[in-house]
Amino acid sequence: MSEEEGRLTRRSFTPAMRSAYDLVTGWMRAAGMVIHEDCIGNLVGTYTANRSAARTLIIGSHLDTVRDAGIFDGILGVMIGLAVVERLHQAKRRLPFAIEVVGFIDQEGLRFGSSFLGSRVLAGSFDPAALLLRDDQGVSVADAVREFGGHPDLIVQEARRAQTLLGYLEVHIEQGSQLERMNLPVGVANTIAGISRATLTFMGVTGHAGTMTMDQRHDALCGASEFVGAVEAYAREIPGLVATVGELCVAPGARNVVPGTATLSLDLRHQDDQARLSALAHLHWRAGAIASERGLSLRWDEAQVQAGTTMAPELRNRLATAIGAAGHTPVEFPSGACHDASVMSGITDSAVLFVRCKGGISHNPAESVTLEDVAAAIEVVERFINELAG
């Protein structure tokens, strides 16, 4: 469950992740699945087809979480895939394609500041440099993978071949409130926002809180704070842009010391890649201007985490048909949250089925869904699969 008792924080390759794997593996085995953990540690349950050389439909999502997470973000998609296979197993039904239920080991990237480590391995877009990332204890991804039972040096072989795949379906809580507004249990993502991230460090002069006069100061935290305000003001002006400073670290971090450095994270998203990249360039310029006005220096490290993605029209249509057949109005809308489906789109047709969540709340222990909406999602996935099986 969690490392801090009573709160859910399931970080990649940790004992908390291992106990989740133990639970899910038991359920997968009971549902007639063959289990394996791949070279980076993704959990893969395979429900074999009724014929050899069949293609595979992957149904999955991530098993890692953010800190103090809700209990549905990620794992709901694995459990719904598992529930659908369990019902096939109970009916002693095998399909003309295999189904793999995949729990990706690292999508949120809380532990290493990575992103999509698990799905990038399957999609063949894994960057080996990610193996060198270190967590707050100095443990590298490579060592964490090994300790968890994986094989970092064999990761490149784990990439799937597109011709063996039928597609990828991710069932995920909406993490927004469109479905609630439309009073619908499920919906389909037509696009997924792209993400840029940056880590900024403002560097000034550490000083004595009592004797360094205000005109002598080059206070790194004041520079960072001005930047945080500028980010919010700018994002409010640009339609469709969301910008978040989620992490801030001040050093040396004492109440009687003028801060010498302030390091912060920046997460930028927009459905349009051009708009996102020009926002990133503007905020980079703004950070530089604030630093020079205040006699600070600035370190700026940016990463293009994921481009905006349009989900596969054919799968979206099939989902819409399944939703209609299940008695609900099919709707489509963009996803502001990122999903492994945007990475899996790089190798196979991919789609996201949203499940309504209360108040759109997510990345928050108050995250919740209803049993009826989960049942509706399971029925839609079953109809989707039956249609695919012909």
Question: Phi, psi at residue 313, to the nearest 5°?
Answer: -55, -40
Q: CA–CA separation, 121 vs 162, rounded Å?
A: 13
Q: Is there binding between residue 38 and Mn ion (CB under 5 A)?
A: yes
- Residue 82 in the binding site for ligand HGY (CB under 6 A): no
- Pick what 38 binds: ligand HGY, Mn ion, none; C-beta below 5 to 8 Å, kind-dependent: Mn ion
Look at strands 207-208 and 56-62 and give their pairing.
unpaired
Question: CB of 359 within 8 A of CB of 311?
Answer: no
- Output the smallest distance, CB 338 to Mn ion, in A: 8
**Residues 220 and 261: beta-carbon distance below 8 Å:** yes
- Of the listed pieces 8-16, 73-81, 161-169, 373-381, which binds Mn ion according to CB under 5 A? 73-81
Give dist(CA 355, CA 138) in Å, integer: 37
**Site for ligand HGY (CB under 6 A): which residue of 9, 107, 114, 271?**
107
CB of 337 vs ligand HGY, minimal distance in Å: 4
CB 201 within 8 A of CB 288: no
Q: Which amino acid is at 386?
A: N
Identify residue 247 by its one-letter amino acid code: E
CB of 367 to ligand HGY, least distance (A): 11
> Contact at 8 Å (CB) between 380 and 159?
no
Q: CB 337 → Mn ion: shortest distance, Å?
A: 6
Residue 108 labeled ligand binder:
yes
367 part of the interface to Mn ion, by CB under 5 A: no
Distance of alpha carbon 313 from alpha carbon 381, whole angstroms: 16
Binding status of residue 241 toward ligand HGY by CB under 6 A: no
Q: How far apart are CA 39 and CA 155, in angstroms?
A: 5
338 is an interface residue for ligand HGY by CB under 6 A: yes
For the chain, what percentages of helix, strand and coil (3-state, to nearest 5) are there? 40, 25, 40
Q: Is 73 annotated as a binding residue?
A: yes
- The two counts, helices (H) then strands (E), for the chain are 10, 16
Any known ligand binding at 339?
Answer: no
The smaller minimum CB distance to ligand HGY, of residues 368 and 386, is found at 368
Written as one letter, the residue type at 329 is T
CB closer to ligand HGY out of 207 and 240: 240
**319 touches ligand HGY by CB under 6 A:** no
The answer to whether 62 is annotated as binding is yes
To the nearest whole angstrom, how small is the minimum distance from the Cβ of residue 148 to ligand HGY? Answer: 20
- Would you say 374 and 316 are in contact if contact means Cβ atoms under 8 Å apart? no
Sequence-distant (≥ 6) Cβ neighbours of residue 50 within 8 angstroms: 94, 95, 96
- State the nearest-atom distance from the C-beta of 129 to Mn ion, in Å: 22
Toward ligand HGY, which CB reaches closer, 316 or 339?
Answer: 339
Asked if 337 interacts with ligand HGY (CB under 6 A), we say: yes
Asked if 74 interacts with Mn ion (CB under 5 A), we say yes
Decide: is 192 part of the binding site for ligand HGY (CB under 6 A). Answer: no
Residue 134 is assigned to a ligand binding site: no
In the complex with ligand HGY, which residue's Cβ is closer, 108 or 219? 108
Residue 145: name the closest of 13, 274, 1, 6 by CA: 13
Nearer Cβ to ligand HGY (63/222): 63
Binding-site ranges for ligand HGY (CB under 6 A): 107-108, 337-338
**Residues forming the site for Mn ion (CB under 5 A):** 38, 73-74
Binding site listing for Zn(2+): 62, 73, 108, 172, 363
